[in-house]
Amino acid sequence: TIDKTIQYRAEKELQATVEATGAKNGIAIVMDPWKGDVLAMAVAPLFDPNRYREYGREVWRNRAVADVLEPGSTFKIFVVAAALEENIITPEDIFFCENGKYRVAGGIINDVHPYGWLNVSHIIKYSSNIGVSKISKHLGMPSFYQYIRRFGFARETGIQLPGEAAGSVPLPVRLPEHTRNAIAFGHSISVTPLQLAQAYSAIANGGVMMQPNVIKKISGSANSHSTYNAYAAEERVINPATARLLTDMLQEVVSIGGTGVRAAVPGFDVAGKTGTARKIHNGTYSNKHLVASFAGFCPVDDPRITVVVIIDEPKTMSYGGQSAAPTFSRISQQVLNYMNVA
C-alpha cells in the first residue's frame, strides 16, 4: 500500500524537521482513513538497508510500530469522545479550569496558560489538562477504560509487519486518582504512532476502526496473485454524529487561537490535535526531555488522509504546535496536491 511518492515527501519533510530542531528522531505516518492503507511510514534518521552494518542497531527498527510513547494531549480527544458517546457531556458544557492550577489527589495539575470557565470545545482548542481531567472524572474509569480499548490502544493493530508493540494502559482496578487524571491528558499510558493514526482515522471516517494495512495482494508465479484479506477487521467505536462533533472540535484547534494553528493547510480545512508529552528521565518526568506530536486529517468534509507526526526530544521548537504541526502541514499539502484533491 506504500506510495513511493508520498513516502518520499514524508521522509524529506520529517528529516528536515529532525535536523532543524536537533531532535533524537522522528516518525511520520500517512494513512487512508477509509481503508486503513498505510501510504507512507517514515522514520528519521534513515539508514541504507543494503549497508545496514554501517549503522547502529538503534536505527534499524521501524519506530512507527515498534516504539511506544506517551501521547500527551493528542489523547485528550478520546476522553471527550467517550463522554460524548455516553451522553455525559455536550460540546457546550462548561468546566472551571482553576486558573491553571488544580490540586487533586495530593498533587497539582497544571495548564500551560491559566483558564477559568471553558466549554468542552475550548478545552480541546486550548488543550486544558485540568478541563479534560474533570471530564474523565464524570465519565468514570470503567467506561473510560472500555473506550481506550475500543479505540485500539493497549492492543496490537495486527498490521502485517514484525515487531509490533501493543502499548499499555494501567488496569482500572484500584487505579489511583492521580493516575486516572494523568491518563486523561496522555500520560501514564503508552501507545504506538500507528495506533494513534488508526484511532484518528476512526474519527475521520465517521466512527469505524479500520485494520491498518501495508499489503494489498501477494503475487505468485506465472503472474498469478491473491488479494490479501486486509479489510476484514472493522469495528464501529462511536456514532457518526459523535465523530462529527469531535471533528468540529479538532477543526477549532487549527483555527486562530488554537494550539495547532501552524498545522493549517492552504486551501483545505484541517482537523487535528497537538501534543507535548514529558518523558521520564532519571525516574521522574522531565521538563527538558519532551515528545512533540500532531495527529489529524484533511480535508475535513471528505477526509483523504490521516497524518501523524512525532518529533522525539526536539532541542528547539519543543512543543507539538511548533515543530510537529508545521511538518503535518507541509506533508499534507504536498500529498493532497499529488493526489489531485481539489
What positions carry a catalytic annotation? 73
CA atoms within 13 A on the CB side of 213: 23
SS3 78: helix
> Closest by alpha carbon to 100, among 127, 140, 124, 135?
127
CB neighbour list of residue 271: distance below 8 Å, 6 or more residues apart: 203, 204, 247, 250, 251, 253, 254, 296, 297, 298, 300, 303
Q: What is the dihedral sign for C-alpha 73, 75, 79, 81?
A: positive
CA atoms within 13 A on the CB side of 288: 2
Grid cell 477526509 — which residue?
A: 303
Pairing of strands 234-236, 208-210: antiparallel
Pairing of strands 38-44, 25-31: antiparallel
Q: What is the dihedral sign for C-alpha 86, 88, 92, 95?
A: negative
CA of residue 337 relative to chain centroid, distance? 23
